Amino acid sequence: MPLNQALSIIHCDLDAFFASVEQRDDPSLRGLPVIIGGSPEARGVVSTCSYEARAFGVRSAMPTAQAYRLCPQGIFLPVNMKKYIEASGQVFEIMAAYSPLIEPLSIDEAFLDITGCNRLFGSAEKIGQSIKERVCHELGLNISVGISCNKFLAKLATELGKPNGLKIITEEEAAGVLAPLPIANLWGVGPKTRQAFERQGILTIGDLQQVNIENLEKQMGSSIRDYWELAHGIDNRRVEPEHEAKSIGRETTFPRDVEDDLFLDSILLTFAEIIGRRLRKAELTAQTVTLKIRYPDFKTLTRSKTISAPSDADMTIYQTGADLFAELRRQNTSRVRLIGLSVGRLQSRSKVCQDSLFQTRVNKPVDEVLDSIKDRFGERIITRAETLLSDNDE
């Protein structure tokens, strides 16, 4: 198989995303240690930080007070989730120009399956370079790109190429690239699994490459074969686009727990606008709306509701999600760590009879006008006023 066909998976990861958006929008911050997560005097954690701040030892998930001790000259900024969500949507639109097979991993990270796309856009390397150039020139952001024959190796390539890199790992190179890396670099190896490997004398991926897998399975169980295959560069997982999962949605984990219901409600409206726009672009409708909330103790609750008729209307999606949110808040008023909104039971708009779309027509002109303005002038040019609450310090 020709090499450019084997290199069918691209992994994209925006560099220091939140901090980079702030530096882009305020040039006076460029070159300075920017720390996103609010004031160091308040209880909170670092959401992300610029590479200038990382040079002082500041890291994501670190208490902001500790970050201040390490970097007192740092510029501490609150999270502006609305701004980051909008920038993320713009990046995903660029990626979608090269492949319909996109698997989002988070607000700033995704896989693309570019099988067959080389006929239109050239080699995998050309596609990766084009994505980087467009994100830089059109959005003013840096994005790291990894390219390989499977998801594990593509993501590893991105990690090895950061920041702002483009790295390729071929199937032939995989074993050699992997061998010297710590065993914790394997996908899914957490502290407990790492310790289990270390008890077997396996400290590096190269150590795992050399073991007899049958003997190791007797010691550690049959599931260990998955790690052994990864150590040899084998990963058969497919890129799973949202439409294959039968849903479209967005979620976000907050840098610190949130108790402001108005802020959370504004996030739901922002998500509903994004989801509705994606439905309309894909000429799809949805008939179920699902809300997801995670609390500080990591307890996660989901609630779903079927709407009366298939819809792609922002306000229908939002109102259904808001109703579910109100229901959950009556049961539990704890601070919120994560909130997500998604729609399911997707079907082609052309397959939905005209009568069933009647209930969404009242908002359809507004949605279409907003889409048209955003298509012409950019995502951030216009929004519903209620979403501006998501620009606050939370």
292 contacts: CB under 8 Å, gap ≥ 6: 251, 300, 301, 302, 338, 339, 340, 341, 342
At residue 174, the 3 state secondary structure works out as helix
Under 8 Å between Cβ of 354 and 240: no
Pairwise CA distance, residues 171 & 7, whole Å? 8
Bridging pattern class, strands 336-344 and 166-168: unpaired
Which residue numbers are catalytic?
A: 109
CB atoms within 10 A of CB 193: 17
Pairwise CA distance, residues 305 & 321, whole Å? 8
Under 8 Å between Cβ of 64 and 76: yes
Q: Residue 2 is encoded by which pair of tokens? A: 């020709």
Pairwise CA distance, residues 50 & 58, whole Å? 9
Pairwise CA distance, residues 352 & 89, whole Å? 27
- Cis peptide bond N-terminal to 163, omega within 30: yes
At residue 120, the 3 state secondary structure works out as helix
Pairwise CA distance, residues 95 & 106, whole Å? 14
Bridging pattern class, strands 247-258 and 336-344: antiparallel
Under 8 Å between Cβ of 110 and 58: no
At residue 109, the 3 state secondary structure works out as strand
Taking alpha carbons only, the member of 243, 208, 235 closest to residue 11 is: 235
Q: Is the dihedral of CA 61, 66, 70, 75 positive or negative?
A: positive
Amino acid at 199: R
Pairwise CA distance, residues 385 & 387, whole Å? 5
